[in-house]
Structure 1
Amino acid sequence: MSIDRRPAPAPVETAAPGTVAGALSARGLHVGYGLPGGRTARAVDGVDLDIAPGEIVALAGESGCGKTTLARALLGLERPTAGTVTHNGSPLRYKTKALKAFRRKVQLVLQDPTGALNPRHTVYDAVAEGPRIHRCGGDERERVARALSQAGLRPAEKYFLAYPHELSGGQRQRVVIAGALALEPEIIVADEPVASLDASVRGEILALLLRLRDEAGLGALVVTHDLGLAWSIADRIAVMYLGRIVEQGPADQVLTDPRHPYTRALVSVLPNSPVPEPIVLEGETPDATLIPGGCRFHLRCQELASGAAARAGVDGACRGSELPVLRADTADRAVACHLHASGSE
């Protein structure tokens, strides 16, 4: 196995096609962590991504691929080691005052509503906390009631004096979403927003996010390992593997005609999958401190193992001589795969 020990590479050659000058963008984004022994974990390693108002983008991939780190960098919670995050075309500044203004427009929705809510605070106080911190003007009670109603808790006044332990899991997640909506954001970043919920209420929360997109023009980045969820909710999907986006495009295209071998493996296990047979990936995702050279998926790639890459003459590039970058596949999608680029899939 060849190991890429070079410094982090320059930003990817091209942004994914179909991207727009959205409210929230990343360009050539890298996030690395220094570890004992002089090692560096390259959690995010050259990512371009856009999230525009009025669209839902799903960021999908296995655990450990860098999804949450990328989300945190987009929120300004992690400072990138290279590349830029922009909001409405302006680079994100990491001064306290600038970050405070930014976070009023780009809000986080956490995975675990129970952990996100203070058990000693009423629903009213939980939703009002953000507007108080940001010193939003106007009638606080009206703002809280409007946010709770938008989140589907009606009549809002019924919930004002309730405590988290008195609510169901779905209601607690709606309170967390209401806390974000109280600041009237342009974008929300939701990290596994239904992972901790019962199956019976997951659909309700997903329907809520779709309604907020359609009625309020809210944009959302939904971080998930569940492509079935992405299929239900996303306008666009970005599939991430070991710190890089390997396929990106409209949800219906990516999920009905996956091109990258990793995406095909993920889609193959979905119900009614367009991939004829389930693809079982061998091994685990490599350590982010020991990233393979060439295509970082090559150690697990079913196309390389089957000999398809060798027949196309790209197996050497896959194994170590060239890092694949996102290249236009159609007008609005991109794939980072040597074999796909060769036209021999």
Structure 2
Amino acid sequence: MTQAVVPVTEPLLSCRDLGVRFRAPGGRTARAVDGVNLELRPGEILALAGESGCGKTTLARTLLGLERPTAGEVFFRGRPLGYRGKDLKAYRREAQLVLQDPTGALNPRHTVYEAVAEGLRIHGLHHDERERVADALSRAGLRPAEKFFMAYPHELSGGQRQRVVIAGALVLDPTVIIADEPVASLDASVRGEILALLLRLRDELGLSAVVVTHDLGLAWNIADRIAVMYLGRIVEYGDVDEVLTRPRHPYTRALVSILPDSPVGEPQILTGEPPDATQVPGGCRFHPRCPALRDGSAAAVADDCRRTRLPVLGEPGVACHLRARPA
């Protein structure tokens, strides 16, 4: 895998102590995001990984301003994100969303041209509309662009539809793309093409991207850094090669263990109930399912695992009592 050389610089997009809570049935409160610190640098691809229900999509939506945090803040170019209509409209010219289901993201009654031009019209960018739409489609790999102008979504393949969605994001010349499972609904033969496109857009346009995924293999092939989420928090965060070749958190190790040619060895099957954001356990929130507790390798810190809350990760590292213990 070839990765971009990303210089150390000020983050383009970041969040500090971010929390998002929702009311759940029965008067309960779901802590979907619960104290998250992240940084996305210019020209970087950051993977946000974890099981379904871990909070990664809610975090992505909050980074885009589609959800308002109940705690903490989102920062863009070092300034807190504003939530007034004009502030969000300006921000969304810079930060665009790519959804996982291109069929659902495209209006079946709109042509490809109308779908891609919609963002320009919302933002009042009528100058050179045809040229902008053609350029966006070309950059997304649909060439010649004019051939696709009058096509409808049902006339396209799944990969072509996803390229139209990407073109709809590119037409505004954003600096950040947040892609939520961008290839999850595509055939295996098309997945590599879309991932290669995202890498090319980073290299040629300097785009930064947050890629939400449950697939660590995908993260390994596309990302510069990775943040692994569990039950609303980042449990491991760092350079993608470092994290996925030498995973330290038991949760990350279990996820990595099922990859082909895994550096962890035998596959580790997570037992117990999947995460419930309305019932966050005491101590380490992963302890009810932790393989290290189950096999006894974390016996020396078992009491801490069950009773002592871990600090929120503020920088690359791992949130685990076992790994924090001096050798």
Aligned pairs for 1:1-345 (under 5 A) are: 21-136=10-125, 138-311=127-300, 314-326=301-313, 333-344=316-327
Task: Give the secondary-structure state (helix, strand or coil) at the position aligned to 2:287.
Answer: coil
Counterparts of 1:117 and 1:276 in 2: how far apart (Å)? 42
Report deviation, 1:327: 6.9
What amino acid is the match of 2:263?
P
1:20–1:50 CA contact under 8 A, matched in 2: no
Deviations along 1:79-123, one digit per CA (max 9) or x if unpaired, are 100000011111111111110110110000011101111111111
Counterpart Cα distance in 1 of 2:186 and 2:276 = 30
* Separation in 1, partners of 2:39, 2:126: 30
CA shift, 1:19, in A, is 8.0
Shift of 1:198: 0.5
Q: Which amino acid aligns with 1:323?
A: L
Aligned-pair Cα RMSD in Å: 1.4
Cα distance change, pair 324–277 in 1 and its aligned pair in 2 (3 A): farther
**Aligned residues of 2:34 and 2:232 also touching (Cα < 8 A):** yes
Unaligned 5+ segments in structure 1 are: 1-17
Aligned partner of 1:15 in structure 2 is none
Check the 8 A contact 2:35/2:312 in 1, yes or no: no
Superposed CA offset, 1:170-223 (max 9, x none): 000000000000000000000000011000000000000000000000011000
- Aligned residue pairs, count: 321
- 1:58–1:238 Cα contact (<8 Å) kept: yes
Cα distance change on mapping 1:211 and 1:191 into 2, 3 Å: same
Identity of aligned residues (%): 74
Residue of structure 2 in register with 1:9 after alignment: none
Judged with a 3 Å threshold, the aligned counterparts in structure 2 of structure 1 residues 339 and 324 are, in CA distance, closer, same or farther, namely: farther
The letter for the 2-side match of 1:338 is H
TM-score by length of 1: 0.90
Query: Given the superposition, is the C-alpha separation of residues 119 and 286 from structure 1 closer, same or farther in structure 2, using an over 3 Å criterion?
Result: closer
Q: Compared with structure 1, are the counterparts of its residues 190 and 327 closer, same or farther at alpha carbon in structure 2 (3 Å cutoff)?
A: closer
| Separation in structure 2 between the aligned mates of residue 161 and residue 322 of structure 1, nearest angstrom | 56
One-letter amino acid matched to 1:318? C
Q: Specify whether residues 43 and 318 from structure 1 end up closer, same or farther in structure 2 by C-alpha distance, changes over 3 A only.
A: same
Judge conservation of contact 2:37–2:313 (CA < 8 Å) in 1: no
Matched residue of 2:32: which SS?
Answer: strand
Return the alpha-carbon distance in structure 1 between the equivalents of residues 186 and 168 of structure 2: 18
Unaligned runs of 5+ in 2: 1-6
1:269-307, Cα deviation, whole Å (9 max, x unpaired): 100100011111111223111100110000011111122
Judge conservation of contact 1:23–1:51 (CA < 8 Å) in 2: yes
- TM-aligned CA distance change 1:293 to 1:245, over 3 Å: same
